[in-house]
Structure formats: C-alpha cells, structure tokens
Amino acid sequence: MSKRWANRIALGVLWLCGLTTVVVLGAVIVYVFVRGIGQITPEFVFTKPQGVNAEGGIGPTIVATIYVTGLSMLITTPIAVLAAVYLAEYAVQGKLVNAIRFAADTLAGVPSIVMGLFGFAFFVDAIGLGFSVLSGALALSFLTLPIIMRATEEAIRAVPRFIRWGSYGLGASKWQTVSKIVLPAALPRILTGIILAMGRAVGETAVVIFTMGQAVYMPITPLDSGRSMTVHLYTLAMEGINMDAAYGTALLLMAMILFFNLSTRWLAARNRRLKG
Amino acid sequence: MTVTSAPGQANTPTGAAKFSVRELDFYYGDFHALTGITIDVAENAVTAFIGPSGCGKSTFLRCLNRMNDLIPGARIDGEIMLDGADIYGQGVDPVDLRRRVGMIFQQPNPFPMSIYDNVAFGPRLHGIKKKDELDQIVEQALVRANLWKEVRDIMDRGGLTLSGGQQQRLCIARVLAVQPDVLLMDEPCSAIDPTSVQKVEDLMAELKSSVTVIIVTHNMQQAARVSDETAFFLQEMQGKPSELIEFGRTAEIFTSPHDRRTEDYITGRFG
C-alpha cells in the first residue's frame, strides 16, 4: 500500500470519528428539540403541575432546581476555593497534600447514586433535615466540591511565578499577594470551574431524588421538599404518563446547561481580551 | 573613598557603602552556590554584576532583598548590612526590607490590572488610600520612570496591553512608587526591544542621584555603559560554589583588570 493511500485512509478514519461525535451530539439535540419545542409555552414554564402531576406546567421544578443548585454553590464555593488556596499556596507539598488531592479526585469519581444514598442516611435521616432543599444542596456539595477545588488549584498554579515575585518585591505579604494578585488573576478560570460544577449539579438526578424528595409544590424555605427538573423528567418518562412534557422538560434542562457552557466560553474570551 | 580592612579586602572606590557584605555563603539545600562574597556596594551609584550564566550573580542579587527566602531550603552564612543594619538579623521582617530594596525582573511582570492600579498597588499596600495622594504618587513614579507621557491618557488600560519595553518601565514605576532606597535589576533588558533598552539605560543614569542601583547583566557593553562599578562573578568548576573574582571601578575593570580570569571573560575568551 502506498504512502499516499495510507495517508488518505488515516485521514478518512479520523474524519469519520470526528463526524461521529458531532452527529451523535447533534442528533440528541435535534431530537429533544423537535419533540420538546411544542411544549415550551409560558404556561408550561411558569405554572404548577396539574392532575396526577403530569399535566400543566413545571414551574416549581425549575425553581427547585435553581434553588438547590444555588444553595449548594453557596455552601461549596467558599470551602472549595479556600481549600484550594491552602493546598496550592500554603501547604507544604508532600504526602499529606497528595493524599488530599487523591481524596478529592476519588470523591469526584464516586457514583452519584452512592452520594445520594449517603446524603439520605446522613442529612435526611441522621441529622434530621428531612427531604429538603438543604439536604439536597449539602449532598450535591459532595459532588461539586472536588470539581471546584481542583479547578481553583489549577487556576492558582497557572498564575506565573514572576507575577507573584513582583508583588513580593513591593513588600507585599503572602496573604496580600494571594488575595490581591493571585486570586484576581486566577478568577476567570475559577469561575469556569464553578460554572461547570453548576452544570453538573443542575443535571444531577440520583443525589436529589434521595435527598430533596419529590414534592411538586413550590419550595420556599430551605427545609421544604422539592422536585428537581431531572426528577420530574424521570417520573414523567418512567411512568410513561406524559412523554411530551418529559421532552419539554429535557429541552429546558439542556438549554440551561448549554447556557452555562456558553458562559464559560464567554468568560475565557473576555479574559483573553483583558490580557491583551 | 572608603577602604575596608575586612577579610577579602573589599573596597569601595566611590562614595559610602549602602550594602556591606562580609563572607557570604549561600546554599540551596545541599548545593553550595556562593562562597566568601565580600563587597561594599556604593550608595547612589550604579553597580553591575557580571559573569557567565550560572555564576551566581542573580542568586547574590536575590540575597540582597531576601527574595531567596521564598525558595525552600535556601540558607545563608555571613553578613549583609544595609545602612549598617544586618538584614538577616533578628526582628527584621523581609516584607519591610523588600519595600526598601525594590526589584525588577528579567521578564516584565505587570499585574493583570490597569496601568494606574499597577503603580498604585504598592502605596495602597502600605496604607495610602486618599485618591489625590495616590494620583500624585502614581504620576511622580511614572514621570521618574519616563513613561508618563506615553500613558497619561490611557491610565485605565490594562498594564499587559503595553509593549514589552513599556511594561518594563511600568514595573520600574511600580517599584519607585514605594520609594525604595535601592533598586535591584535582574537582567532588566534581556527581554525587551533595543529602543526600550536605551530608555531603561537612560533611566538608570537619572535614578542614581536618588536611588542605589544594582544591575545584573549578561551584556558587557551594557555594564560598561551604565555602571560606575563592576563586580565579576565566576563559578570556576562545575559543582563548586561561585566566587566574586574582582570588584572595582567599571572603567578600570574593563580597561585594566587585575585578575587574569576577569580579562579572559571581558575579552570574550569564555562565557
């Protein structure tokens, strides 16, 4: 076989593989869009479910999803960011720090249904928070903590050494350097990590079904139960009671996650512009 | 003229000594990097440290504002006096020292913030908050760094949008804004364009009336052009610590060096 042919075949295979990923992604989006778009009306988005919770709108589930995700981010972000600052800037690099990193990576790999089960046993049952937005948010935090922590650590490490030296050279203390130079410089990448974690939390089903419950009314306090969009979608589809509403919910969910991903790209682009 | 009788017979051909270093040895962990450095650096003059790569001149420079403290395992023996006080003595805070002994690096390193905020960073760090006071300090520092005319109308722009040479002068302005006595420059011109090199060199000549300047440079012509005194460092053998070979007036070092090794280096026989 000639070199020229080998080259053509290699190119063809690579092209085909590339095309496959695009086609699969495109097919999912198009299918959900076509099946779901007819459902998207103001009534569907803003009103509450009717009948056996399969008719009417999905308003409370959207609120519950945003509520539990937002609350979870409020809990996770400060802890994850400060832990990452400690690991990257202060901790003596060695066995202990590597063990913490390994633990974080392992935590990120725990199946979410296991997290859900743990969340149920610990927050719902043992601590007695019941099926609630707060239980859901705390359990989700286990999932998002390692994502934000590792993203922040990478972001901090990516800040060039000589920028820190500039700050030390002016008589800045370590904390002044970290808080005024390193963290602001790392902020766009930290935000990217936070947004990716939010996408993960919004799309999570197993954790919230175990911890937030399935009540379809509007959650008001953090101790109210609620049904996330994913759980609602699961119920609608598994019981086969209203597939159209399931696709409508799926479409909104995908739009939310797409919005998060686009925000990270926008942040990255803005960051490049600022740096000139 | 001061002639010291300390071991090593360091002499200061001009002016009073700003830094007096006696029998300094420096280690990175197990690695013995510098040995027996004894030197008096003159006040309000430009002193150049020259020598081939790896000769310890930058390492020595970084002892003078304790930047080496940031490296785990770094350790010194001997004494470094700044205005007669030991900078490694008890109760000396390296953070305060670095305010008095400013540093410019090879790679221009503006912070990712506006030109104004870059220069105001140091003064703000040390508690100056009033807008008009800051404005005045920022303007003065930029004027002294010969950058004011170029940036006066674009103070809100990011420091990183400037050209490499402008960035380096911005970094100089940033250091001048905290009113240091000494300016350490670690190969400040090796990453910028020739026109900017000229500007930075002019700047050193202007600054030395108020600031003691110490510059590490690879470029011997530059050392000859800008400095009043020159110190030549050399690591004679791989694995052995570097030493200060010769120190004296720049004109003398470059025209009639006393040490054979200095002459060989200056005439380009190695390095």
How far is it, in rounded angstroms, from Cα A205 to Cα B269?
Answer: 73
Phi, psi values for residue B233, rounded to 5°:
-110, 150
- How confident is the prediction for chain A on average, in pLDDT? 89
Give one DSSP letter per residue of A226-274, joined into a string: ---HHHHHHHHHHTTS-HHHHHHHHHHHHHHHHHHHHHHHHHHHHHHHH
Q: Which of B105, B166, B170 to mutate to test the interface with A (most CBs of A within 10 A)?
A: B105
Q: Do A170 and B171 count as a contact with CB atoms less than 8 A apart?
A: no
Q: What is the pTM of this model?
A: 0.79
CA B261, CA A275: separation in Å to the nearest integer?
45
ipTM for the assembly = 0.83
- At the fourth CATH level, which superfamily is domain B2-266? P-loop containing nucleotide triphosphate hydrolases (3.40.50.300)
A interface with B, Cβ–Cβ < 8 A, is 160, 162-163, 165-173, 176, 180-181, 184-185, 274-276
Domain locations along chain B: 2-266
Contact between B127 and B209 (Cβ < 8 Å): no
With a cut of 50, which residues of chain B have pLDDT below it? 1-13
φ, ψ (nearest 5 deg) of residue A36: -100, -25
Residue B73 near chain A (CB below 8 Å):
no
Q: How many CB pairs under 8 A join A and B?
A: 70
Q: Give me the pLDDT at residue B4, please.
A: 36
Alpha-carbon dihedral sign for residues A189, A190, A195, A200: positive
| Mutation for testing the A interface, residue in B67, B97, B98, B115 having most A CBs under 10 Å | B98
Q: In angstroms, rounded to a whole number, what is the distance separating the alpha carbons of residues B108 and B175?
A: 12
Whether the Cβ atoms of residue A140 and residue A72 lie closer than 8 Å to each other? yes
Enter the tokens of residue A204. Answer: 């999570």
Structure tokens at B75: 């350790």
Q: Closest-CA residue in chain B for A274?
A: B158
pLDDT (tens, 9 = 90+) of chain A, 276 residues, equals 688 899 999 999 999 999 999 999 999 999 999 999 988 888 888 888 887 777 888 889 999 999 999 999 999 999 999 999 999 988 887 888 888 888 888 888 899 999 999 999 999 999 999 999 999 999 999 999 999 999 999 999 999 888 999 999 898 999 999 999 999 999 888 998 999 899 999 999 999 999 998 888 888 899 888 899 999 999 888 887 788 889 999 999 999 988 888 888 887 777 665 554
Q: Do A169 and B65 touch (CB under 8 A)?
A: yes
Residue A65: the pLDDT is 93
CA within 13 Å, CB half, B149:
1
Residue to test with chain B: of A170, A182, A187, A275, most B Cβ within 10 A: A170
Q: How far apart are CA B233 and CA B252, in angstroms?
A: 16
Tell me: the pLDDT tens digits for A150-174? 999 999 999 988 899 999 989 899 9
Residue whose tokens read 């025209």? B255
Hey, are the CB atoms on A176 and B125 less than 8 Å from each other?
yes
Q: Please judge whether B125 and A171 are an interchain contact, meaning their C-beta atoms are less than 8 angstroms apart.
A: yes
- Residue B222 near residue B210, CB atoms below 8 Å: no
Enter the tokens of residue A228: 């996330």
pLDDT score recorded for residue B11 = 45
Q: A110-165: per-residue pLDDT in tens?
A: 999 999 999 999 999 999 999 999 999 999 999 999 999 999 999 999 998 889 99
Which residue(s) pair with B231 in the sheet?
A: B49, B247
